[in-house]
Amino acid sequence: MSHSIKSKFLFFSLTIFVVMFSAVGTHNYFKAKQEISESMEDQVAMAKLRASTVLPSLIWNFATASINDFANAELRSEFISGLIVADSHETLFAGVTNANNEIVHESLERFPSDQRQMAFDLIFRESGDNSKVGRVSIRYNELYLQQHLDEILFQQVLQSFVYCIVLFVLIWLLINGLVLTPLLNLNARLHNITEEISQR
């Protein structure tokens, strides 16, 4: 009987801890995912603002070297994996980052439509006149996002497992010493008394 009670306690305790820490881990995972996604959106939005401010005048003045310097600097952001700058006639800059976060220049006119990206026109403003001088496409670094989410998932699983084991051992020792053992001893005494009475 002692083994039956302890086995039931073991099963229910583990079940409660697994459910509890799974819920906490899931909440933390999706919270971290939302925070990273929001940070990525903010960084890409800032890159858009910088490009909209700097690039129109560079394209207007045919400053190709400065365009390349600006684009390469933006590609160093961990949240951006590709950048295309084009005027109304041709592509002026096209670059992506590989798995090692190295910048690779490629001959691209646009990114595939199934890749997450932000595209916008470049407007040059002078003396009250607005002229479209080009277009920019920024590709989000989904690899960075996935790698960080995988790390967070592993961390949450490991952390939940460790917490579960530690709490289970502590509560098991506490309950076993204060409740289960005295209860089993009492049950054994009652059983002996019952047998003695039945033998009389």
Domain segments of the chain as ranges: 40-141
- Backbone angles phi and psi of 124, in degrees to 5: -95, 125
Q: How many Å apart are CA 158 and CA 132, to the nearest integer?
A: 53
What is the model's pTM? 0.74
Tell me the average pLDDT across 119-146. Answer: 91
Ramachandran bin of 16, using left for φ above 0, alpha for ψ from -120 to 50, beta for the remaining angles: alpha
- Per-residue pLDDT of 53-109, as tens digits, reads 999 999 999 899 999 999 999 999 999 999 999 998 899 999 999 888 889 988 888
